[in-house]
Amino acid sequence: MKTKRNWLMVLLLIAALAACKSDYLDKNPLSGPSDDSFFTNQDELILAVNGIYRYANYTPLDNMPLNLLTDNASDIGWDRNNSALQSIGKGNHDSTNGFALSIWTEAYKVIAKCNFILDNIDKVKDKTAPAIFNRSRAEARFVRAYTYHYLVDNFGDVPLITKVLTLEEMKVPKNPKNEVVDFILKELSEAAPDLEITYTGANVGRATRGAALAIKARTALYNQRWSVAAEAAKAVMDLGVYSLHNNFGTLFSYAGQNSNEIIWAFQYLKASRTKTHSTPNNLVSRNGLGFTNKVPSQSLVDVYLCTDGLNIDESPLFNPSTPYQNRDPRLTFTIAVPGSIYYNYQFETHRDSVKCWNYNTTPATRVDNQDALNAFATFTGYCWKKYVDLEDRLDRTNSELNIIQIRYAEILLIYAEAKNELQQLDQSAYDAINKVRTRPSVNMPPITLGKTEAEFRSLVRKERLYELAMEGFRLSDLRRWRIAEKAMNGNFYGRVQRGLVAAAPQIDENGLTDYTLVPNRADMRVVEVRTFNKDRDYLWPIPNIETVTNPLLKPNPNY
């Protein structure tokens, strides 16, 4: 009986399947559009392009965007979290490093989404306004080029993928870096004319013509294409829509996020749950209830000039007993230093300063000083100030402060550096660097004419450090100038925990500090001992999982 019953069930199942329509399993995805049906109209195209901006803004660590993280794996910053980023800074990373894997993986996800748009965009050409169609295609090309710019900067040779791949096509080799750079520059050149010069309303945050030209200038600079860099930077300047923000201290706050200095920024919006980030929570002091797990170095504090334009090891204005006075204002706009007010608290990291003032109350009250007492207070004695705004005090993990990716000051410094390397050190190069140095609120002495190529190179390299610290440029600069093995080997210092550095360190032409002759060097806190292998660490490792699953993808040297 059991056998007969089983056969009956089989016969019924066969009959049921035969009765089914032949297209029963041939269904479009029920949860969204399929590759075959997407795009069908202009609105869907715009929606897809909007999505690539969100994916391009990935947060590989601590819910912070990439550009705010990498300075903390350089000579000017440190990540306390015992993370994969810290391993890169320390030099003990390998091909399984999670931070490098995250950048690689997320970048190729973004590239795949851009490729999908570009492969399918012609489906709606006759259903889309020409200006929107051209802009959308240019935006996808821009985001793809921008993503490749980060890949080649960190990994060197990488696979250049410009279409959606089938499963059979997935195993691809690396393309030479120069070939990828050529592609980036070409894409940005061709995309720029179809991008608007400015946007208003809901379109703010889209790539502009200036953004495309700016990333072209940056990519060219990073790859010693000096003529291209100078020409692209000049093209941004000639657009006539950008200017330096008068108050450097508010540029990285809510008050400055609509500044004409900002060429392109990642957009955040808490109310509609678009996207938020946790930058303030990672940077703010312990008194301000932050984690202080990304901190600046003593060497960065010491490299800022005195107000007479001289290094602290040369200037008569420098007094080791009051080391933060008479200094380039960008020092205290960028870094919270002991003796200042930070997040409405008296900021003091001397270990004997067990009480401090809380200015969040009226009148101010004395409270336990967690920046001296807490075991996880800043290990260097300093905190970052860029992108720290009191408006986020009650919700530090959900900031909606836009994060700048490109700003006009960088373009001026690109132009100055490229002109010098072209041996075209003319008035326009001096004007560019001096606009940055002399902006209101900074007011540093202008560079005078008559500098040699080497002297001007030193000036512009240091100026990039003063101006762009904690914005994601330092590691790239160390590598492209081939000075990382000098900057990233040895002790990473914090302040003297119960005192001050007794004398100025020696500062070289690249803004690197040497504490050998400082009398109380032994009292400085050694936060970390770093190594940098010049035969390996100028590139990040191609992730091991990628080289294992794709035999055509060869590891980077010595990983």
Q: DSSP letters of 470-523? A: TSS-HHHHHHHTT-HHHHSSEEEEEEETTS--SSPPEE-TTS-EE-TT-TTGGG
Overall average pLDDT of the 64-79 stretch: 98
**Cα–chain-centroid distance for residue 10?**
62
**Residue 286 scores a pLDDT above 50:** yes
pLDDT single digits (tens) 366-408: 999 999 999 999 999 999 999 999 999 999 999 999 999 999 9
Token pair recorded at residue 333: 């706009």
Residue 122: which pLDDT band, with cuts at 50, 70 and 90? Answer: very high
* 3-class DSSP assignment, residue 346: strand
- On average, the pLDDT of the chain sits at 93
HEC string of 21-71 equals CCCCCCCCCCCCCCCCCCCCCHHHHHHHHHHHHHHHCCCCECCECHHHCHH
End-to-end CA distance of the chain: 67
Cβ atoms 231, 243 nearer than 8 A: no
d(CA 68, CA 337): 20
Q: Does residue 128 surpass a pLDDT of 50? A: yes
CA distances from 538 to 253, 426, 460 (A): 33, 33, 22
Helices (H) and strands (E) in the chain, counts: 18, 14
pLDDT score of 22? 38
Other beta carbons within 10 angstroms of residue 322's beta carbon come to 11
Distance between CA atoms of residues 333 and 325, nearest Å = 13
**Position 497 pLDDT exceeds 60:** yes
272-288 average pLDDT score: 91
pLDDT computed for residue 38 by the predictor: 73
The region of weakest confidence among 28-37, 92-101, 127-136 is 28-37
Q: Extract the tokens encoding 162.
A: 């410009």
pLDDT in tens, 9-66: 333 333 333 444 333 333 333 344 455 567 899 999 999 999 999 999 999 999 999 9
- Does the pLDDT of residue 319 top 60, yes or no? yes
**Which strand ranges, in their side-by-side order, compose the sheet holding 345-347?**
340-342, 345-347, 355-358, 365-368
| pLDDT on residue 24 | 30
Place of tokens 């060197």: 156
Q: Are 146 and 113 in contact (CB under 8 A)?
A: no
Q: Calculate helix-pair angle for 226-238, 408-421, nearest 10 degrees.
A: 140
φ, ψ at 382 (rounded to 5°): -135, 165
Nearest to 460 by CA among 525, 501, 410: 410
pLDDT value for 39: 84
- The predicted pLDDT at position 31 comes to 40
pLDDT tens digits along 404-449 = 999 999 999 999 999 999 999 999 999 999 999 999 999 999 999 9
Strand partners, 347: 340
Point out which residues pair with 173 in neighbouring strands: none
Q: Beta strand 524-530 with 490-496: parallel, antiparallel or unpaired?
A: antiparallel
Residue 8 has pLDDT above 80, yes or no: no
Specify the pTM: 0.93
Helical axes 427-437 vs 408-421, angle rounded to 10°: 150
Close Cβ partners of 186 (under 8 Å, ≥ 6 residues apart): none
Q: What is the pLDDT of residue 378?
A: 98
Higher pLDDT among residues 26 and 261, named by residue: 261
**Helix, strand, or coil here: 225?**
coil
On the question of pLDDT at 2 being above 80, the answer is no
CA-closest candidate to residue 35, choices 111, 117, 108, 133: 117
Token readout for 549 is 């699953």
pLDDT attached to residue 190: 98
Q: What is the DSSP string of 399-414?
A: B---EEEEEHHHHHHH
Q: What percentage of the chain carries pLDDT values higher than 70?
A: 93
The residues, any chain, with a CB within 8 Å of residue 138's CB and separated by 6 or more, are 190, 191, 192, 193, 194, 195, 207, 212
pLDDT, position 36: 57
| Burial state string for 127-159 with b = 16 or more CB within 10 A and e = fewer than 16 | ebeeeebbbbbbbbbbbbbbbbbbbbbbbbbbb
